[in-house]
Amino acid sequence: MKITVNGKISNEALKSILETQKEKTKTITDFCKKEKLETFSYKDSELEFDYEHEVKPKQAKKVEVRSNDKRN
């Protein structure tokens, strides 16, 4: 996430801006998950945000093989 602010601002104003941007990124992330988007880019005058879906590798299923089974 990249936030651009022109000029000096107070700590309270910065906290307010960061909370607003946090809400925006959550909204974008929720939308992308709902719509099953893999990538999404958003940019306005204050926020630049790139969403990428994280693919978690699946573990292979383990199958137990018994070799001491005696069959006639």
pLDDT at 61: 78
pLDDT at 68 exceeding the cut of 90: no
Q: What are the distances in angstroms from CA 17 to CA 6, 14, 57, 66, 69?
A: 12, 5, 36, 62, 68
Q: What is the largest CA-CA distance in the chain?
A: 86
Helices (H) and strands (E) in the chain, counts: 1, 3
Taking only the tens place, the pLDDT of each residue in 8-44 is 888 998 899 889 999 999 999 999 999 999 999 999 8
pTM (predicted TM-score): 0.64
Q: What are the residues whose beta carbons fall under 8 Å from the beta carbon of 58, sequence distance 6 or more?
A: none
